Structure 1
Amino acid sequence: MPKLSIIIPCYFNELNIPLTGAELLANEQNFPPDVTFEYVLVDDGSRDGTWNALCRFKEQHPEKVTVVKLAGNVGSYNAIVAGMAQATGDCVAVITADLQDPPQLLAQMYAYWEQGFKLVLANRADREEGPVQRVVSNTFHYLMRRIALPGVPTGGFDMVFFDRQLCSEVVRLQERNSNVFYLLVWLGYPYVSIPYTRRKRQVGRSRWTFSKKVKLFVDSLLAFSFFPVRAISVLGLLLGLSAMSYGLFLLVLRLTGAPEPEGWTALMLVLLFVSAFQMIALGVIGEYVWRGLDASRNRPMYVVETVQLATKGDPLENGKSKTNTFG
C-alpha cells in the first residue's frame, strides 16, 4: 500500500489553510484506492494565525496530518527541507499553500512515479499574473537554464513529485543558501515535466517580495554555476588586453612624434570603470566566501519548536525548542 506525503510550507497563510486542506482532501479521490496520504504542513515562523489554523486542520484529521512549527522564519526552501525530514511516505510531493498550483496534477504525477520516474516536475507554461511578474520570472528561469542547469523546464516549477530516495538525499545534503527544487534536478535522476498554467492568487497577499526574489536568484546562480567567477576572469583578461593595446598605441605615438591624446574626462572614466569592476569582482568572490563560511559553521538550517505527528494517539508536543539538522 503506497503512501504519499504532501509537504506544504506555510507563511502568513491563515486564510488559505481551510481552503487548501479541503481541496487536497477532495483530490484524494483522483488517486487509486490503495494510496494512503500524509500531509506535512510547516509553519515557517508566521506571525498571524497560521499555526492555529494548522492545529485546527490537524484536529480534524489527526491520522493523516503532521504539523511542524519552526521557531523563526527561515525561508520556504528550508521549511520544505524541514517537511522532508518529517515525511514518511514512499513518495513525496511539494505544493504551495495558496492553491496557485492545482492539486489535480498530483494524480498525474503519481502515475508517472508508478511508471518508474523518481522525479516529476510541474512546470509553469503560463501564469495568470501581470506582465511585470511574468517578465521577471521568465528572465530568472531563462538565465538559470542558460548558465546554471541546462535542460530544466522553461517557466520554472514550484510543484514537484519525487521518490523517497531523492527525499533522503536532499535531507542528507543539508545544503544551505540553495534552491531545493533545482537541487532535486541536480541529483541527476531522469525526470518528466508536466506543463500547466499557474493560477492567480485568490486569498491573502503574497509575501514573496522583490528582495527575496533577488536572494533566490543569487543563491541559485552561485549554488549551481561557476559562471560569475568565470565571467570575472574573462572580463579581467579583456581589460588587461585593452590596457596593453592602449599602451602599445601610446608607445607608437611617442616613437613617431605624433601628438598624444590628453583629457581628464577620459582618464577618470577609465579609472571609475576599472574601480567599479574591481568592487563587483570582490563582491562576487565575497558571496562565495561567505557561503563557505556559513557552511563551515554547521548551524542548523532550521529550528523546530513544535511537532504534532500524524498518529491516532496523542500528538507529540515539545515543551521547548529543539534544533533539527537532519530530521
Structure 2
Amino acid sequence: MPKLSVIIPCYFNEENIPITVRELVANEARFPAEVAFEYVLVDDGSRDQTLRALLAARAQYPDRIRVVELVSNVGSYNAIVAGMAHATGDCMAVITADMQDPPELMVPMYAHWLNGFKLVIGNRQDREETGLAKTFAETFHWLMKHLALSNIPDGGFDFVFFDRQVADEVLKMHERNSNVFYLMMWLGYPYVNIPYVRRKRTVGKSRWTLQKKIKLFIDSLLSFSYFPIRAISVVGLLLGLAALLFGLYVIALKIFAPQGPTGWTTLMVVVLFVSAFQMIALGVIGEYVWRGLDASRSRPLYVVKQTHDATTGQ
C-alpha cells in the first residue's frame, strides 16, 4: 500500500491551519482507496499561535498528522528539509500552508509517480496575484532559467511531488543557503510538468518579505550558476583592454602634444569607475567565500525542539 507524505512548512499560519488541514483531508477522497496519507507540518519558529493550531489539528487526526516543532525560524526551505527528514512515505509532496496551490493537483501528480516519474512539478503558468509581487516572481524565475538552470520550467514552481529516492538524495547533500526545489532539478531526474494558476492568498498575511526574496535570489544564483564570477572576469578583461587603449592614448598625447590638456577629469572618472568595479567584485567573491565558510562549519540546517506524532504520543 503506497504512502504519501505531504510536507507543509508553517510560519505565522495560525489562521490558515484549520482551512488547510480540512482541504487536504477532503482531497484524500480523490485518490485511490489504497493510498495511505501522512501530513508532516513543520512549525518554523512561529511566534503566534501556529503551534497551538497544529496541535489541535493533530488531536483531530492523530493517525495521520505529525508536527515537527523547530527551535527557531530557519526559513521555509530548511523547514521543508526538516519535513523530508521526518516523513516516512514512499512518495512526498510539498505544498504551502496558505492553500495558494490547489491540493487536487496532487492526484495527477500521484498518477505520474505511479508511471515511474520520480519528480513531478506543479508549474505556475500564471498567478492571480498582481503588482510588484507578481513582477518580482516572474523576473526571478526568468533570470534563474537563463543564468543558472536552463531545465527549469517557465514561471517557477514550489509545488512538487517526488519519490523517496529524490528526498534521500537531497538530504544527503546537506546543502546550505540554497533552494531545495532547484536541488531536485539539479539531480537530473526526468520530470513531468503540470501547469496551473496560482491562487491569490485570501487568509492571513504573507511573511515572504522583499528582503527574504532578495536573499533567495542571491542564494539560488550563487548556488547554481557561475555567472557572477564569469561576469567579473569578462568585465575585468574589457576594463583591461580599455585601460590599455587609454594608456596608448596618453603616451601618444605626451609625445605629439606635450602641451596638451592634462586629462585630470578623465583620469578621475577612470579611477572612480575601476575602484567601484573592484569593490563590487570583492563583494561577489566575498559572497562565495562566506558560503564556503558557512558550509565548512557543518552547523545543522535546523534544530528540532520536539516532534508530536502518534508514534511518540507526545
Q: Is TM more than 0.5 here? A: yes
Aligned equivalent of 1:44: 44
Q: How far apart in 2 are the matches of 1:257 and 1:112?
A: 76
Aligned equivalent of 1:118: 118
Q: How far apart in 2 are the matches of 1:219 and 1:203?
A: 29
Aligned equivalent of 1:209: 209
Aligned equivalent of 1:170: 170
Q: How far apart in 2 are the matches of 1:274 and 1:42?
A: 48
Q: CA RMSD in A?
A: 1.2
Q: How far apart in 2 are the matches of 1:163 and 1:116?
A: 9
Q: How far apart in 2 are the matches of 1:265 and 1:170?
A: 55
Query: Would the aligned equivalents of 2:58 and 2:309 in 1 still touch at CA under 8 Å?
Result: no
Q: Deviations over 1:172-200 (max 9, x none)?
A: 11100000000000001000111111100
Give the letter aligned to residue 274 of structure 1. V
Query: Would the aligned equivalents of 2:123 and 2:157 in 1 still touch at CA under 8 Å?
Result: yes
> Does residue 81 of structure 1 match 2:81?
yes
TM-aligned CA distance change 1:180 to 1:261, over 3 Å: farther
TM-aligned CA distance change 1:146 to 1:260, over 3 Å: farther
TM-aligned CA deviation for residue 252 of structure 1: 2.2
Q: Please state whether the residue corresponding to 2:33 is helix, strand or coil.
A: coil
Query: Would the aligned equivalents of 1:38 and 1:310 in 2 still touch at CA under 8 Å?
Result: no
TM-aligned CA distance change 1:39 to 1:310, over 3 Å: farther
Query: Would the aligned equivalents of 1:4 and 1:35 in 2 still touch at CA under 8 Å?
Result: yes
Aligned equivalent of 1:325: none
Q: How far apart in 2 are the matches of 1:201 and 1:259?
A: 70
Give the letter aligned to residue 151 of structure 2. G
Q: How far apart in 2 are the matches of 1:103 and 1:157?
A: 14
Give runs of aligned pairs for residues 219-238 of structure 1, distance below 5 A.
Answer: 219-238=219-238
Q: Deviations over 1:118-177 (max 9, x none)?
A: 000011111011132221111110110001000211111010000000011111111000
Query: Would the aligned equivalents of 1:38 and 1:64 in 2 still touch at CA under 8 Å?
Result: yes
TM-aligned CA deviation for residue 292 of structure 1: 0.7
Aligned equivalent of 1:25: 25
TM-aligned CA distance change 1:114 to 1:201, over 3 Å: same
Q: How far apart in 2 are the matches of 1:134 and 1:272?
A: 37
Aligned equivalent of 2:246: 246
Q: Deviations over 1:240-264 (max 9, x none)?
A: 0000011112222233337644443
Q: How far apart in 1 are the matches of 2:119 and 2:4?
A: 14
Give the letter aligned to residue 115 of structure 1. N
Aligned equivalent of 2:152: 152
TM-aligned CA deviation for residue 310 of structure 1: 4.0
Task: Pick which of 165-174 and 127-136 moved more.
Answer: 127-136
Percent identity of the aligned residues? 66
Task: Pick which of 259-268 and 195-204 moved more.
Answer: 259-268
Aligned equivalent of 1:322: none
Aligned equivalent of 1:184: 184
Give the letter aligned to residue 77 of structure 2. Y
Structure 2: which 5+ runs fail to align? none
Q: How far apart in 1 are the matches of 2:60 and 2:254?
A: 88
> Does residue 91 of structure 1 match 2:127?
no
Q: Please state whether the residue corresponding to 1:57 is helix, strand or coil.
A: helix
Structure 1: which 5+ runs fail to align? 318-327
TM-aligned CA deviation for residue 293 of structure 1: 0.6
Aligned equivalent of 1:69: 69
Give runs of aligned pairs for residues 120-135 of structure 1, distance below 5 A.
Answer: 120-135=120-135
Q: Deviations over 1:60-84 (max 9, x none)?
A: 1111110000000000000000000
Aligned equivalent of 2:301: 301
Query: Would the aligned equivalents of 2:7 and 2:95 in 1 still touch at CA under 8 Å?
Result: yes
Query: Would the aligned equivalents of 2:147 and 2:227 in 1 still touch at CA under 8 Å?
Result: yes
TM-aligned CA deviation for residue 117 of structure 1: 0.6
TM-aligned CA deviation for residue 273 of structure 1: 1.1
Query: Would the aligned equivalents of 1:250 and 1:260 in 2 still touch at CA under 8 Å?
Result: no
Q: How far apart in 2 are the matches of 1:261 and 1:225?
A: 45
TM normalised by structure 1 equals 0.94
Alignment: residue pair count: 314
Give the letter aligned to residue 207 of structure 2. R
Q: How far apart in 2 are the matches of 1:142 and 1:259?
A: 54
Q: How far apart in 2 are the matches of 1:153 and 1:175?
A: 22
